[in-house]
Amino acid sequence: MKRMNKVPGFLRSVLCSYDLRKMGLEKDKETIITRILNYGDWNDLKWLYSIYTENDIKRVITHPFRGSWFDKALNFWEKMLNLRLPHKIRKKALLHINPNF
């Protein structure tokens, strides 16, 4: 598997809140994987799988950041990768836009 050091510029659309020059593929792995799986297109996914292993991706999904996932995206990746998050973890992982949640 080919490893690069820097996050490529074409990922700016999925990492628009971040300074790509300050990001590292290892130190920001969880953020990069989460954002691509939530917002990425086919080319972003191909790149993701060329850089990270499926185990890396599964680990990020099963240990999610709080409020970092869209429900439909998380559901899709759970099904695609044959994963099942415990209800409590899944609930914390979901992004809730409703301020009264």
Q: Which residues of the chain have pLDDT under 50?
A: 1-2
pLDDT in tens, 9-24: 999 999 999 999 999 9
The whole-angstrom separation of Cα 79 and Cα 97 is 24
Interior angle at CA 55, CA 20 and CA 71, nearest 5: 70
Whether this prediction's pTM lies above 0.85 is answered by: yes
CB 43 within 8 A of CB 12: no
User: Residue 52 CA to chain centroid, in angstroms?
Assistant: 11
Indicate the SS3 state at residue 94: strand
When computed from its CA atoms, the radius of gyration of the chain, rounded to whole angstroms, is: 14
